[in-house]
Amino acid sequence: MVFNSLTFMVFFALVLALHAMPFKWTTKKINLLIASYLFYAAWNPPFIILLWISTIVDWYAAQKLVHAEKPAARRFWMLLSVVVNLGMLAYFKYGTFLLENFTVLMASIGVDYQAPAFDIILPVGISFYTFATLSYTLDIYLRRAEPAKNFLDYALFVTFFPHLVAGPIMRPTELVPQFVEPRKASSQMLFFGLGLMTLGLFQKVVLADSFLAPAAEMIYDGKGIAGTLDAWIATLAFSGQIFCDFAGYSTTAIGAAMCLGFAMPDNFRFPYAAIGFSDFWRRWHITLSSWLRDYLYIPLGGNRHGEARTYLALMVTMLLGGLWHGASWAFVVWGGLHGFYLAAERILRSRFSGYRPGPFALFLFALLTYALINITWVFFRADSFGKAWMILSGMFGMNVGAAPILPTMHLTMVTLIVSGIVFAHWQMRQQTLESFIARVPAWLLSCAWAVMAFLIVIAQGDGNAFIYFQF
Amino acid sequence: MPSSTSNSDSEVARPGFVRQTASDRPGVAQPVPERDIPARPWGPIIFAAFIMFVLLIAAWEWYWRDYGVTPSYRNSPGQWAAQRRRIDNGEGDKTVLIGSSRVLFGVQLPVWEKAVGERPIQLSLEGTSSIPVLEDLAEDPNFKGRLLIGVTPDLFFSGFAYRGDVIPYYHKQGPSQRSGHWISQHFFEPYFAFYDPDFALDTLVKRQAWPVRPGVPSRRSVRKLMIQDADRNSHMWRKIEVDPEYRALMRSIWSERFVGPPPPMMNTPEKLHKLIDTQISRAEAAVKKLRARGVSMVFIRMPSAGEYYAFEQKVFPRSSTWDVLLKRTNTPGIHFEDHPELQGYELPEWSHLSASEANRFTAALMPIVQQEFEAQESK
């Protein structure tokens, strides 16, 4: 079920009530586990089997790994976990993509290969929970973590509903220890958690779904050729939409976990105030970027084996990071562009290592970073390279004579909301939401909370799925 | 993502941040996250926020009730799917109504039930050709009942399907969507007038008098027209009958659709002819499948008036649409122009019968429909 649904409201109220009952801690954990399975099964019940497979294989592999004495045996159990998890991901997420590309490849060498029907439904959140379970066996293999003391704690780590389908991607060392001792939210945690959930849902339901998505759809899903203004506004709208959608999900998830007494890590840190791309990736989808860094970039050599190897590791990491988002070459290009940006930034920083920009120059660099990130969003959002090229042509003024498409309402709302987001990020770039809230008068917090809740209700969202569910 | 500024993969200092994240701790086990709770009086804050929220909702509800709105069931995809599922759950031999909003408003289920003792399943969708639903039913072996198929010329023969996404929604609807619909229908829809897509925040903002951007065609969306019951029995919202200003607004919104160049797929006589032919072929194929299963079918052309009727006559004349459809599908049809008892009703905004007229119209229609069904079944 999605957070922005009536079903979730009822579900969460019941889970909170159950968690507050005077049961034993083990009983409470079993309740949370069952609730998390129900949360997942509410989309498509049979896919829960995949979740079980992933859970059991990694538990078993980790147990074997811990007791294996020979390095070869340790490597075998680690590889088993990797193959099963990535195999499931490859089959369900990339099966069609691989088959289509194989058919094209065969055709290019003159072989008329007819692919069998391969109509696969992508299980919700498979990319997220396979990464979470993988980190369990990998951390144990790398001797960074101890295995969970019991299967219940481990199963709950994999399945815990706030992070299950769209992150933040949790590491075992972040969550498993929280299940060892009884945890209960204080009234302060409960209230602040509810506040975070309201803020997250406001971002998703009001900003992303009601005002930003329609403008992006009119250009990216429409048939018209976009001129400069329309192409830029639609792309800016998408940049705001994907932030509000995904950061909204993460904020809601963090709030939901907090209401139950658990802590989840930050996934976003005001990314549109980033100065440079390495800074951007320390602020955007932090739990994925750090996962890729720890389990892909560093094992590939990181920056420890010379410049050439560093650039290679960087580019491979970003290309695969792009592919993680979706089975399409457009996502690979998106990742490749980010890899290129990061490499270019690295070169520039070493070339101009003595340069210390002033405040105004920093602001201009932040705007430049944001503008260049918008270029990458074109490939992320467009459903084909033809469409992406049309939008980019529009953004660079090459669609001369294109008829205007977006009405004044969309131009105005997107400009207001996206300017507001970028301004807020700039103001908040050196602080946390919590440190900001600590300085806001109580009456203003009450008003803001009431208005956000009111706007969520009157927006009457349709329970649109969060964008990252498809990944 | 890897930091291109760091000289090693060890921990990076991040001055300025209140707390560190995984991005600051490369290559190590990530610790249990720390979350701060800002030191604020959260109890009074949430209490005051809740009171303000309740007051805002109450004021919003009062505003819409004052505008003439009463609570009614949402014409949602979940609502349609719930009715569609009745066919799968043992009611496949019932009479089903498909069509656009004219059948939705014009055929009253209580009157029908009173006449023949059976309440039909209402699957009509506003702004939508009946062909997608016809095709869906043709593929469903559970459906073996009777079918009344509405034909609104500009929708049916153009294939326009404003609510076309409802059919895939029904096929893919998950358990949480079903329960969400149930909760909405039992705890919200019957009690809140503002809980209507026509009064959603984005719709209201869009509806304001924004300056027109030169070159962007100005086309307003259709406003609230109907009140719906739990089983999708619908009738015209009373405001259209009693409020001349609102009625004039609705007519002016329709009028916008009758001027300007036609859409690209029908901007030449050849394209238009091909489009009509395609839709009739789709209907023909679906009707063939349904007939093979013993389904009795009747097409119906509901009344229209004023500028709407004139537009239909001009672009989709009966001789090249309706008559061809009946001939090629070899199916009986009821055209309001052929039956004096189906004429002379009040259509406040030219396209739909008012609530009271819909009752009278249904009563007049029933004997004709029954006769057509029985004639087919006696063969």
pLDDT in tens, chain A (471 residues): 889 899 999 999 999 999 999 999 999 999 999 999 999 998 888 888 888 988 999 999 999 988 888 899 999 999 999 999 888 888 887 777 777 777 888 888 887 777 666 566 677 788 888 899 999 999 999 988 888 989 999 999 999 999 998 879 999 999 999 999 999 899 999 999 999 999 999 999 999 999 999 999 999 999 999 999 999 999 999 999 999 999 999 999 999 999 999 999 999 999 999 999 999 999 999 999 999 999 999 999 888 888 899 999 999 999 999 988 888 899 999 999 999 999 999 999 999 988 888 889 999 999 999 999 999 999 999 999 999 999 999 999 999 989 999 999 999 999 999 999 999 999 998 889 999 999 999 999 999 999 999 999 999 987 666 666 666
pTM, entire model: 0.90
Q: Would an 8 Å CB–CB cutoff place A178 in contact with chain B?
A: yes
Which residue type occupies A20?
A
pLDDT at B345 over 60: yes
Model confidence pLDDT, tens digit, residues A345-402: 999 999 998 888 888 999 999 999 999 999 999 999 999 999 999 999 999 999 998 9
Q: What is the DSSP letter of B128?
A: B
A43-61 as b/e: b if 16+ CB within 10 A:
beeebbebbeebbbbbbbb
| Nearest partner of A179 among A158, A162, A154, A146, judged by Cα | A154
Separation in Å, CA A41 to CA A54, A68, A88, B170: 15, 35, 18, 18
CA distance B247 to chain A (A): 25
| Nearest CB to A293; choose among B1, B31, B37 | B1
Q: Angle, to 10 degrees, between the axis of helix B109-116 and the axis of helix B355-377?
A: 40
Q: Which two tokens stand for residue B378?
A: 């006696």
Q: What stretches of chain B adopt beta strand conformation (E)?
A: 95-98, 121-122, 146-150, 226-228, 234-236, 296-301, 333-335
> Given this model, what pLDDT does residue A372 score?
97
- The pLDDT-based confidence of B14 (bands split at 50, 70, 90) is very low
DSSP A66-124: HH--SHHHHHHHHHHHHHHHHHHHHHHHHHHHHHHHHHHHHHHTT----PPP---PPPT
> Given this model, what pLDDT does residue A98 score?
77
Yes or no: say if B87 and B96 are a contact pair by the CB < 8 Å rule: yes
**For the domain B93-165+230-377, what is the CATH code?**
3.40.50
> Given this model, what pLDDT does residue A265 score?
95
A453 vs B contacts (CB less than 8 Å) = 49, 53
How far apart are the C-alpha atoms of B185 and B178, rounded to whole Å? 11
Work out the number of other CB atoms within 10 angstroms of the CB of residue A305.
Answer: 12
pLDDT at B2 over 60: no
CA distance A366 to chain B (A): 16
- Angle (nearest 5°) at CA A112 between A109 and A114: 130
> Given this model, what pLDDT does residue A306 score?
87
Beta-bridge partner residues of A74: none
Q: Would an 8 Å CB–CB cutoff place A459 in contact with chain B?
A: yes
> Given this model, what pLDDT does residue A113 score?
72
> Given this model, what pLDDT does residue B129 score?
96
Q: What is the DSSP letter of B74?
A: -
B17 vs A contacts (CB less than 8 Å) = 269, 430-432
- Do the chains contact at A446 and B52, CB–CB below 8 Å? yes
> Given this model, what pLDDT does residue A470 score?
62
Q: Alpha helix locations (H) across A109-212?
A: 126-141, 151-159, 161-164, 172-175, 187-201
Q: Could you identify the residue written with the tokens 């409201």?
A: A9
A325 is catalytic: yes
Q: Which of A25 and B222 is assigned the larger pLDDT?
A: A25
- Do the chains contact at A431 and B18, CB–CB below 8 Å? yes
Domain residues of chain B, as ranges?
39-68, 93-165+230-377
Whole-complex ipTM: 0.89
| Nearest CB to B9; choose among A139, A302, A459 | A302
> Given this model, what pLDDT does residue A116 score?
63
Yes or no: say if A448 and B56 are a contact pair by the CB < 8 Å rule: no
CA distance A349 to chain B (A): 7
Chain A nearest-CA residue for B24: A282
